[in-house]
Amino acid sequence: MRYVDFLKATVLLSASSATLLAALTVVRVASTAEPALMEVAVGWWLVAVLLGGWLGRRHAVSPPIARLLADARMQMSLPELRPGLTLINRLWPLLFSTLGAAILGAFLPQVAAVAAGFTIIWALAWRRQDAAVSAIEERDGFRFYIDKTPPLAPIRLVRTRGLMAG
């Protein structure tokens, strides 16, 4: 899977997680008639939007991604492309935390509200990283792909020759 596509999918799945958890919070709070909890949740979500927007304001790659790109090993052939397995392999913490927060949120809506805020921050903080990596790919004429690694191992990238811009 191309690393740019992985970054886009991460942002979309994080935003989807935030939406699911926020909707669960709204439904649960509406059934319990606790307006104070909803006010605190909306306040936290607004803070999360501001914080995530501030963290994701830069158009350059973040230092961890820059190190990851620099450490990518060169390979002449494309790696095995398995986007579904790659997403599950790399984003299982998001899946488990979303499911856990949703299950707990059915009983304690505060848990879903707090988790929604953190996924809002994550989605907004990473929203421009794919464009920054694409710019590096276009500049250098390489494409970055996610290498096959175990789920608990750090992510590794493979660099392949791309098409040079004319």
Q: Within a domain: residue 166?
A: no
Mapping DSSP to helix (H, G, I), strand (E, B) and coil, where does residue 86 land? helix
Q: Is residue 96 part of a domain?
A: yes
Count of structural domains, the chain: 1
Strands 142-146 and 157-161: antiparallel
Given a contact cutoff of 8 angstroms between Cβ atoms, the answer to whether 95 and 87 are in contact is no
Range of the domain at 113: 3-161
Helices vs. strands in the chain: H and E counts, helices first: 6, 3
The whole-model pTM stands at 0.90
Mind listing the pLDDT tens digit of every residue in the chain (166 residues)?
Answer: 999 999 999 999 999 999 999 999 999 999 987 889 999 999 999 999 999 999 999 889 999 999 999 999 999 888 888 999 999 999 999 999 999 999 999 999 999 999 999 999 999 999 999 999 999 999 999 999 999 999 999 999 999 987 655 4
The type of residue at 10 is T
